[in-house]
């Protein structure tokens, strides 16, 4: 009767329009009585192939999860419901996360006649969970590092204050110490300001954002002088932390500070490859020397606060976007952000 209900009427209408995949099969998985159309969208395989070979869905399960899934399926023989998560690999190589729940259906004699269940694509939820996990890890690290850095600065400040007491009658030397004390105070202020930006890292759920919109918002608050910004012709959307605008602010601000007076343009472009989407931010300034290239993303490195490029890398890493610099010294800086597949959308796709 249940099978007839699936094939006809309102129940069939529900199962064929929901985003989740509804399925019905026998206990031994030797036969699939029904699989809803969403199976083809989520698994990337035809329903006909599953009807012909009911165990073919196991071929899609990630190798690291397959043994665990097979163990769960053994529960069917006991008549108990099951609930588990696993990964599947689509024919094109993409990975999706599945939440699958099943329960027994008994006949009039109380015997298990079938199993039915619902499978849901939870890939986006997993992305968010991983992003939040990374953010919490980074925030804990920030707390430890910042506390250590500020304590070091305070020790230096206390030392200069103590020395200052002994040279009250030496104005020139006292003024020198006061300047050093002011520098330390400024450093502590910058460290505290940095934590304000960093504390928001990963707090909000990553979102889809247009690259050019972020660049426009970033440049609106910067002294661009006569430097021309060339927006990305492809104008892709990327899945990133809401602080993505800060990434472009930092890259453009860095170019304005260190690109030199001869810098006239900052160009943004993107190129798709087998690895993903490369978003390039380059300028025609003085570039970055080979020695500095090794440390530019290190926290505290630089002539200003030393936080900008470090924060840039951290924001991007929330959604597994990497950044490198491969410009030619003397010919301009060139920052390359590599966005993983499925984390970007192009206009023509």
Residue 149 pLDDT level (bands cut at 50, 70, 90): low
DSSP per residue, 282-343: EESS----HHHHTTTTSTT-SSS-S-HHHHHHHHHHTTT-EEEE-PPTTS--EEEEEEPTTS
Mean pLDDT value of segment 18-32: 82
User: 227 with 265: CB under 8 angstroms?
Assistant: yes
pLDDT cut 70: percent of the chain above it? 84
What is the CATH T-level fold of the domain 2-121, as seen in this structure? Beta-Lactamase (3.30.450)
- Listed residue (76, 77, 55) closest to 66, CA to CA: 55
Count of other CB atoms within 10 angstroms of residue 190 = 13
Per residue in 82-125, pLDDT tens? Answer: 888 999 999 888 889 999 988 888 877 877 878 888 999 999 88
User: 57 with 68: CB under 8 angstroms?
Assistant: no
pLDDT at 4: 43
Q: Do strands 207-210 and 344-345 pair parallel, antiparallel, or not at all (unpaired)?
A: unpaired
Is residue 230's pLDDT more than 90? Answer: yes
What is the Cα–Cα distance from 319 to 239, expressed in whole angstroms?
7
pLDDT at 192: 75
Per domain, the residue ranges of the chain are 2-121, 123-204, 206-349
What is the Cα–Cα distance from 317 to 5, expressed in whole angstroms?
48
Q: Is 195 helix (H, G, I), strand (E, B) or coil?
A: helix
Per residue in 156-168, pLDDT tens? Answer: 888 888 888 888 8
Is residue 8's pLDDT more than 70? Answer: no
Mean pLDDT value of segment 209-235: 91
On average, the pLDDT of the chain sits at 83
Q: 206-349 sits in which CATH class? A: alpha beta
Q: Is 285 helix (H, G, I), strand (E, B) or coil?
A: coil
Least confident of 1-5, 14-18, 176-180: 1-5
Least confident of 72-86, 107-121, 160-174, 298-312: 298-312
- Listed residue (250, 319, 332) closest to 284, CA to CA: 332
Highest mean pLDDT among 8-12, 24-28, 300-304: 24-28
Is residue 5's pLDDT more than 70? Answer: no
Highest mean pLDDT among 61-75, 296-310, 315-329: 315-329
Q: Is 18 helix (H, G, I), strand (E, B) or coil?
A: coil
> How far, rounded to the nearest angstrom, does the alpha carbon of residue 170 sit from its chain's CA centroid?
56
Task: Output DSSP code: residue 103.
Answer: E
Alpha helices, H only, the chain: 2-7, 9-15, 38-43, 47-52, 57-60, 63-73, 123-165, 171-198, 211-219, 244-258, 290-293, 308-317
Helices 171-198 and 308-317 meet at what angle, rounded to 10?
10
Count of other CB atoms within 10 angstroms of residue 226 = 8
């Amino acid at each position: 009767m249940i099978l007839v209900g699936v094939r006809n009427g309102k129940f069939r209408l529900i199962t064929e329009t929901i985003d989740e995949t509804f399925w019905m099969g026998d206990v031994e998985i030797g036969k699939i009585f029904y699989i809803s159309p969403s199976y083809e969208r989520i698994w990337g395989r035809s329903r006909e192939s599953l009807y012909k070979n009911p165990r073919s869905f196991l071929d899609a399960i990630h190798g690291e999860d397959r043994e665990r899934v097979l163990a769960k399926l053994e529960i069917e023989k006991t008549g108990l419901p099951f609930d588990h998560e696993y990964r599947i690999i689509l024919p094109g190589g993409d990975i999706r996360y599945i939440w699958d729940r099943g329960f027994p259906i008994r006949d009039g004699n109380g015997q298990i006649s079938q199993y039915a269940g619902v499978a849901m694509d939870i890939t986006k939820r997993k992305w968010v969970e991983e992003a939040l996990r990374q953010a919490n890890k980074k925030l804990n690290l920030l707390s430890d590092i910042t506390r250590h850095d500020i304590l070091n600065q305070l020790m230096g400040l206390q030392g200069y204050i103590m020395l200052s007491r002994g040279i009250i009658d030496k104005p020139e030397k006292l003024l020198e110490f006061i300047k050093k004390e002011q520098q330390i105070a400024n450093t502590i202020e910058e460290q505290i300001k940095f934590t304000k930006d960093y504390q928001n890292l990963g707090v909000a759920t990553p979102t889809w954002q247009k690259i050019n919109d972020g660049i426009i918002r970033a440049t609106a608050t910067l002294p661009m002088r006569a430097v021309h910004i060339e927006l990305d012709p492809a104008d892709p959307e990327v899945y990133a932390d809401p602080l993505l605008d800060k990434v472009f602010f930092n890259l453009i601000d860095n170019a304005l500070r260190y690109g030199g007076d001869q810098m006239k343009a900052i160009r943004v472009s993107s190129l798709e490859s087998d690895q993903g989407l490369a978003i390039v931010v380059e300028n025609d300034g003085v570039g970055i020397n080979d020695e500095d290239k090794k440390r530019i993303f290190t926290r505290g490195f630089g002539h200003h606060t030393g936080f900008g490029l470090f924060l840039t890398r951290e924001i991007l890493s929330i959604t597994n976007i990497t950044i490198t610099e491969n410009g030619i010294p003397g010919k301009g800086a060139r920052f390359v952000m590599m966005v993983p597949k499925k984390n970007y959308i192009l206009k023509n796709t």
